[in-house]
Amino acid sequence: MLINSYAKINLYLEVLNKRKDGYHDIETLFSTINLHDSLKFVLTKKPQIQILSNIPELASPNNLIYKIANRIFDDYKVKNGIRVYLNKRIPVAAGLGGGSSNAAVTFIALNALLKLKMEDEYIQRVAAEYGSDLNFFFQGGLACGSSRGEMITPLPDEKSMKLLLVNPGLAISSKEAYQLVDFEQADCKGPKMWHNSLETGIKKKYTVISDILQSMKDLGASEALMSGSGSTCIGYFKKNTQLKSSVEYFNSKLMWNKVVKTIGRSQYQKCFQNLS
């Protein structure tokens, strides 16, 4: 079974408070984009879980694909094994949800391949144990996330937006990003587009993020913000000429960049229909 695993961006993210369990309550606005990894799942008779990837360090038991597969195999007493081929295109630890997306696709693929008929309650509950944004990838499209981000409220599809992603090659963990939040400066005014309260602390520590966002604006972006916990930055350009100039600029800086489009829920969920 071959499935695409799509990235997400956060068009809005407000950190509300730190919880007793060590996590943070947030409000966020997720959107899927057409940047994706590809995963091929092959059932094996030998009862082991194996990951092969174009990025060798991802072929590890630390990968969420492995952890989710192992959990499902234990819970459902599966006697088969699985070999997963991961073609990684989404930057790692970049605020684009690549690992969580891969994990969600693992649920979907194993449920279909092994004919497990998983209950939605089981999927949502177990998924939330492995990542705060993982549950979003069962919905896709445009959606609000609350609590830790795992409580998902789907929103109606909107017109697709063309965006520029720029990643400076920094791997920023969610833990670090949240530790840098200045709650005294946090100002929750209700959800609105193009806001990320994780940005301030990250920009102070990693000035390259501030430089990228400022360069986007200088090049004509009407909006620019960091996605999730970073380090990927998003630019929205109303004119294609400005977008093209921005691509050329970041190419000259040898920074990874990609022009992407947001995709709606109906288009996203077509990818998982008729799996067998």
Q: How many angstroms separate the Cα of 93 from the Cα of each of 173, 203, 236, 244, 271?
A: 6, 16, 22, 26, 24
- Percent of the chain clearing pLDDT 90 (strictly above): 79
138 and 118 share one domain: yes
Domain boundary among 154, 183, 207: 154
Q: How confident is the model at residue 183 (pLDDT cuts 50, 70, 90)?
A: low
Q: Given this model, what pLDDT does residue 179 score?
A: 86
Domain total for the chain? 2
Q: Given this model, what pLDDT does residue 186 score?
A: 45
Mean pLDDT of the region 26-34: 95
Chain position carrying tokens 């409220």: 153
In a domain, 248, yes or no: yes
Q: How confident is the model at residue 249 (pLDDT cuts 50, 70, 90)?
A: very high
Q: How many angstroms separate the Cα of 223 from the Cα of each of 215, 230, 237?
A: 11, 16, 7
Q: How confident is the model at residue 166 (pLDDT cuts 50, 70, 90)?
A: very high
CA geometry: angle 112, 29, 198, nearest 5 deg: 115
Gap between the Cα atoms of 231 and 209, Å rounded: 7
Structural contact between residues 276 and 19, judged by C-beta atoms closer than 8 angstroms: no
Mean pLDDT of the region 234-242: 97
- Which pTM value belongs to this model? 0.93
Q: Given this model, what pLDDT does residue 9 score?
A: 97
175 and 88 share one domain: no
Gap between the Cα atoms of 258 and 64, Å rounded: 25
Gap between the Cα atoms of 167 and 25, Å rounded: 26
7 and 50 share one domain: yes
In a domain, 137, yes or no: yes
175 and 210 share one domain: yes
173 and 144 share one domain: no
Domain boundary among 113, 131, 154: 154
3-state class of 224 per DSSP?
strand
CATH at 198: 3.30.70.890
Per-residue pLDDT at 184 exceeds 90: no
Gap between the Cα atoms of 113 and 41, Å rounded: 9
pLDDT single digits (tens) 107-141: 999 999 999 999 999 999 999 999 889 999 999 99
Q: Is residue 224 classed exposed, middle or buried when 0-12, 13-18 and 19+ CB atoms within 10 A define those classes?
A: buried
Q: What is the mean pLDDT of the chain?
A: 92
Q: How confident is the model at residue 188 (pLDDT cuts 50, 70, 90)?
A: very low
Mean pLDDT of the region 240-250: 97
In a domain, 148, yes or no: yes
pLDDT single digits (tens) 52-109: 999 999 999 999 999 999 999 999 999 999 999 999 999 998 999 999 999 999 999 9
Say which residue, 171 or 109, is predicted with more confidence.
Answer: 109
Buried b (16+ CB within 10 A) or exposed e, 132-160: bbbbbbbbbbbbbbebbbbebeeeebeee
Mean pLDDT of the region 170-178: 85
Residue 37's DSSP bridge partners are 5
Per-residue pLDDT at 13 exceeds 50: yes
In a domain, 276, yes or no: no
Measured in whole angstroms, how far is the alpha carbon of residue 233 from the centre of its chain?
A: 13
Identity of residue 101: S
Buried b (16+ CB within 10 A) or exposed e, 82-106: bebbbbbebbebbbbbbbbbbbbbb
Catalytically active residues, by annotation: 8, 133
Give the domain range for residue 145. Answer: 2-154
